[in-house]
Each structure stands twice: as C-alpha cells, then as structure tokens.
Amino acid sequence: MELYWVFERHYRMNREEIAGIFEALMEISSLEFESFEALVRALHLYRTTGADLSDALIAESNRMLGCVFTVTFDKQAAQAIPSMDLIK
C-alpha cells in the first residue's frame, strides 16, 4: 500500500496507471503477495468503482477470511464497495 500512496499522492498517477503498475508487479514470479486473489479483486474494485485501493484491499482481504462485510467510518468506501457497511 505504501507504493499506492506514493504513486497517488506524490506522483499524482491516475487509476489506470496505478492499476497497470500493480498488475505488472503481480506478473513478476519472484514477488510474493499476502493474498494474490484479494489483490486481484481489489484492483477490479479500484478500477470499476470510486473506491480507494487500500479500502478495496481491506474489504477483499476480509472477504477472503470469511467476513460477510467490513465496517467503516469512510462514507465513500461504504458507497463504493458492496461488502463495506458504514458505521453510523
């Protein structure tokens, strides 16, 4: 996620550029990811919704662990990610 924040905030890359870089990194066989499937799903949410990549990855990681939904204080995340519910 540190890469994501640097790409977005410091280099001001757009969603397609960031997603493309992550997809390229995922093709490097010597790199390991905590949950490859969760990252694939998070990138899809990132590309197709207004979701932040970090929120999408949290939601998808939780989903992979068996959670039905993830609660959040983030209104935008709750609106963009179907498996996130807003704490009111």
Average pLDDT taken over every residue of the chain: 96
**Which pLDDT tens digit goes with each residue over 22-51?**
999 999 999 999 999 999 999 999 999 989
Overall number of domains in the chain: 1
**What pLDDT is stored for residue 35 in this prediction?**
93
Is this prediction's pTM over 0.85? yes
**Cα distance between residue 85 and residue 1, in whole Å:** 22
Parent domain of 23: 2-86
**Cα distance between residue 23 and residue 69, in whole Å:** 26
Burial of 53 per CB tally in 10 Å (0-12, 13-18, 19+): buried
